[in-house]
Amino acid sequence: MDHAADAHRTDLMTITRHVLNEQTKHPESRGDFTILLSHIVLGCKFVCTAVNKAGLAKLIGLAGETNVQGEEQKKLDVLSNEVFIKALVSSGRTCILVSEEDEEATFVEPSKRGKYCVVFDPLDGSSNIDCAVSIGTIFGIYLIKEGAEPKLEDVLQPGKNMLAAGYCMYGSSCQFVLSTGTGVNGFTLDPSLGEFILTHPDIKIPKKGKIYSVNEGNAKNWDNPTAKYVERCKFPTDGSPAKSLRYIGSMVADVHRTLLYGGIFLYPADKKSPSGKLRVLYEVFPMSFLMEQAGGQAFTGKQRALDLVPTQIHERSPIFLGSYDDVEEIKALYAAEVKK
């Protein structure tokens, strides 16, 4: 046995150690955020295990329910939702929870209440479960005013007011990506330790990318700027090489690749879905928060995504996010369209 190597394994930057280090920078902190995060991490580990076992355990399959978007719910969606609701309530640090799976927001009972609101999609990309493609959990965290009674308006805030955001991707490895507003860090689950280890410190998205990511099957319904942008990706007019297309159809996986390799992810509005498909609170905001923190941009076709003020918890918005220069190009196309 290599004892030196084993000893080294205990000197790793785990996610808990990382967040505790961050906490020391805020002397007023009482550790509430660290506790909340450890409950989110626990939920992710549980879902990761369930996802890995799904094929064998026959957890896959319809649970016979539909969610608030009218989509069929899979058993893993139901399970993941229950896991996160329980983990978040039992943290004793939350007051309002908004889940993609629940029509109404959950107001935590007063005896278990804390000051954080968590908006989340417990299992995004669930139509990919049956073919074992990467799926994930997305979350964003808001803070309510000290001593105030929680109300729905506390979660109907622009994304720029989020305190933290992140996702966990259940892929060939389990990756947890987090921003608390001071950059982006990526952690990989070491299954032998059951710990997320810092493997991608201070992630910065390349300024310009070589990949575009979009469901081109919707092209016939796109507006002019989106159609023109995608055309330029394929047939550049400035002498640059054509971009490659990569589209998984699972936002966490598509955004994770975009964050690490650069490029642009787009889910635009189209004639059939004038507000696009993706949900503002628990898809658009957390991913836009991470992109900006990594040096990229996120744009709705009209404005900076994080400036959007949602009026409903399940509201949707078009989204273009990724490398700074690539998003700049689509912004210019929309600006030119407005001038016409």
| Residue number, 137 or 185, with CB nearest to ligand AFP | 137
**Residue tagged 């506790």 (tokens):** 35
Q: What is the SS3 assignment for 169?
A: strand
Q: State the minimum distance, in angstroms, from the CB of residue 281 to ligand AFP.
A: 13
**Binders of ligand AFP among 145-204, rule CB under 6 A?**
none
Q: x/- binding map, residues 12-51, to ligand AFP, per CB under 6 A?
A: ----------------------------------------
**Residue tagged 């799926």 (tokens):** 135
Q: Of residues 9, 20, 31, 71, which one binds ligand AFP by CB under 6 A? A: 71
Q: Of residues 215, 221, 244, 275, which one binds ligand AFP by CB under 6 A? A: 215
Query: What's the length of the chain?
Result: 340
Burial 101-117 (b: 16+ CB within 10 A, else e): bbeebbebeeeebbbbb
Q: State the minimum distance, in angstroms, from the CB of residue 307 to ligand AFP.
A: 22
**Binders of ligand AFP among 105-144, rule CB under 6 A?**
124-128
What does 193-225 look like in DSSP terms, one character per residue?
TTEEEEEETT----SS-SEEE--GGGGGG--HH
Q: Can residue 224 be called a binding residue for ligand AFP (CB under 6 A)?
A: no
Could you tell me which of 339, 253, 241, 198 has the C-alpha nearest to residue 51? Answer: 253
**Binders of ligand AFP among 243-282, rule CB under 6 A?**
249-251, 254, 277-278
| Residue number, 40 or 169, with CB nearest to ligand AFP | 169
Would you state the torsion angle of the CA atoms of residues 143, 148, 150, 152, taken in this order, to the nearest 10 degrees? -80
Instruction: Compute how many residues bind ligand AFP; rule: CB under 6 A.
Output: 13
Name the site residues for ligand AFP (rule: CB under 6 A).
71, 124-128, 215, 249-251, 254, 277-278
